[in-house]
Structure formats: C-alpha cells, structure tokens
Amino acid sequence: MKKVVIVIVSVFIGNASVQLALAQGDAAVGRSKAAICATCHGAEGNSELPMNPKLAGQNATYIAKQLMDYKSGVRSNQTMSAMVLNLSEQDMQDISAWYSSQQVTLQGADPKFVELGESLYRAGNKELAVAACSACHSPTGRGNAPAGFPSLGGQHAEYTLQQLKDFRAGVRQNDESSMMRIVVERLTDRELEALASYVSGLH
C-alpha cells in the first residue's frame, strides 16, 4: 500500500506541474477547431460508438495531455496520430476547452457488476494493495482536474475496459509513474469489466 500512496503523491505533483505549463484554451474558438473530431467523438463530445471515448465534460488538462501524447508518440493510435499531426499546442488547448465545457450524456451500469465494481472503485482491494479508484477519480467519477486525473463518469464501458486492459498489458504507457499499470496489474478480467461498467453509471 505504501508503494501506491507514494505513487499517488508523486503523480499529483508531476501532473500539477504539467497543468501549470499549459496555456488556457478558448472554448468558443475550440468549437470550430473540433469539427474534425466530430465524426468519431460527436459534435458535442458524446460519441455514439462505444469504442470511441466521450470527450464531453472531460477535464481539459487531461484531454490536452492525451492529444500531446499522441503527437509525440508517447501514446499510440494510428488514427489519432494522424488527426493531431497538424494541430498546434494552442489548437489542442482550444479543442480541449470546448469539449470540457460540454455536458456528458449518462450511461447505466450493468446491474450484475454494480456490487463488485462499487467495492473496487470505493475501497480497492487491501489484500492485493490495490488503491480505491475514487482516491484519484473522485467519489462521483469526476476526476481531479488540478492533478490531471480524468473524469470517468458516463464514459462508454467498452472504451474504459479496453484502456484498463491496455494499461495492464503495457500496451498503453502514458500514465505518470506507471500509476495505472501498478493499480490494474493484479486485477482480473471480471474485475476490470465490473469497474468499467460501474463508472459508466457515475455522475
């Protein structure tokens, strides 16, 4: 558990410094710039395809970091790498501000996963030294914008599940201090599925 606590503190400090380095985006300007994103993510950030993440209501700092990671190659996705190729840092910040200002549409958690998902999200697993997800992503799933922790509430369960599996497999590695990889490495497929379903219903 000490390892997890230390990681959480170090990530908070590290992500706070990243946010300070980001200029403020302009949501009004970002609306027009985000037109190229609408096909996959929806005009207001509520994608209809479950494997395309909802961006509406997401923390602007988090969105901007992901776009920058795609452009630098730290996060890999062929489609996204092509989409951000010609975007400037200011473009990314403006787009992030636009989507962050929108309202996410809510999902409903699968009843069969609620008990397990809620237990893991709110209490973690002390025996496996797995921290509660709510410690970083908040009890309501809104995340922690100053620390750069993303909002999870309302997100497609299918997308969230794939990201959790990618972290566990080491396919996705753009988490500060390997924090997400440390948290999910001990969790089973069923536990990941329960978490993904549970957070989709948070608001």
Return the closest-CA partner of residue 182 out of 51, 11, 59, 61. 11
Instruction: Give me the CATH code for the 2-7+106-200 domain, please.
Output: 1.10.760.10
Same fold, 2-7+106-200 and 20-100: yes
Domain ranges of the chain: 2-7+106-200, 20-100
pLDDT tens sequence for the chain (203 residues): 444 443 444 444 445 444 434 558 999 999 999 999 999 999 999 999 999 999 999 999 999 999 999 999 999 999 999 999 999 999 999 999 999 999 999 989 999 999 999 999 999 999 999 999 999 999 999 999 999 999 999 999 999 999 999 999 999 999 999 999 999 999 999 999 999 999 999 98
Say how far apart CA 96 and CA 58 lie, in whole Å: 8
As a residue count, the chain comes to 203
* Fold of the 20-100 domain: Cytochrome Bc1 Complex; Chain D, domain 2 (1.10.760)
Single-letter code of the amino acid located at 29:
V
